[in-house]
């Protein structure tokens, strides 16, 4: 496919996702639980990508990076809510940033690769924060 075709398809799919998200009218808790699940999937991908501190599957590393980036973008886009929700959002964003240290950029670090447990731990803490609402 041509780059312009791909860009058009990406724009159309993004618009469809935004319409579906708006129609779902998800609560802050539901958004945060979705972020926890997204991080768990990122951990699964990362655990395939990294073995013994080395990248063994670059594609899976890219998947993990993308899932973490999407979770950060989704939670960052949540509108201000009540005091408890805002506190949970802040706590979740903190955990998402911690998770992103495992996959800090599209190009993996050449050394000091973090264990997948860093992402899984953040996912668990995100779920705990979400379930507090």
pLDDT digits (tens, 9 = 90+) for 76-109: 999 988 999 999 999 999 999 999 999 999 999 9
Q: What is the per-residue pLDDT for 3?
A: 87
Asked if 38 and 66 touch (Cβ cutoff 8 Å), the reply is no
What number of residues does the chain have?
133
CB-based contacts of 60, cutoff 8 Å, min separation 6: 45, 46, 48, 49
Pick out the chain residues at pLDDT < 70: none
Q: What whole-number distance in Å separates Cα of residue 112 and Cα of residue 6?
A: 35
Q: What is the per-residue pLDDT for 75?
A: 97
HEC-encoded secondary structure of 23-73: HHCCCHHHHHHHHHHHHHHHHHHHHHHEECCEECCHHHHHHHHHHHHHHHH
Q: What is the per-residue pLDDT for 76?
A: 97
**SS3 of residue 102 by DSSP:** coil
| pTM tops 0.85 | yes
Q: What is the per-residue pLDDT for 19?
A: 86
Q: How many angstroms from the chain centroid is the CA of residue 82?
A: 23
Q: What is the per-residue pLDDT for 59?
A: 97
Q: What whole-number distance in Å separates Cα of residue 28 and Cα of residue 121?
A: 21
Q: What is the per-residue pLDDT for 24?
A: 84
Q: What is the per-residue pLDDT for 12?
A: 87
Q: What is the per-residue pLDDT for 1?
A: 77
């Amino acid at each position: 496919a041509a780059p312009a075709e791909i860009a058009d398809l990406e724009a159309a799919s993004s618009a469809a996702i935004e319409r579906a998200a708006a129609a779902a009218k998800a609560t802050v808790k539901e958004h945060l639980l979705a972020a926890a699940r997204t991080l768990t999937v990122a951990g699964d991908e990362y655990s395939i990508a990294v073995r013994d501190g080395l990248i063994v599957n670059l594609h899976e590393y890219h998947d993990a990076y993308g899932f973490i980036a999407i979770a950060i973008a989704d939670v960052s886009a949540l509108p201000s809510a009540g005091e408890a929700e805002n506190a949970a959002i802040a706590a979740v964003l903190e955990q998402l940033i911690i998770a992103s240290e495992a996959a800090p950029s599209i190009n993996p670090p050449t050394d000091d690769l973090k264990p997948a447990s860093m992402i899984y731990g953040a996912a668990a803490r995100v779920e705990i924060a979400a379930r507090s609402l």
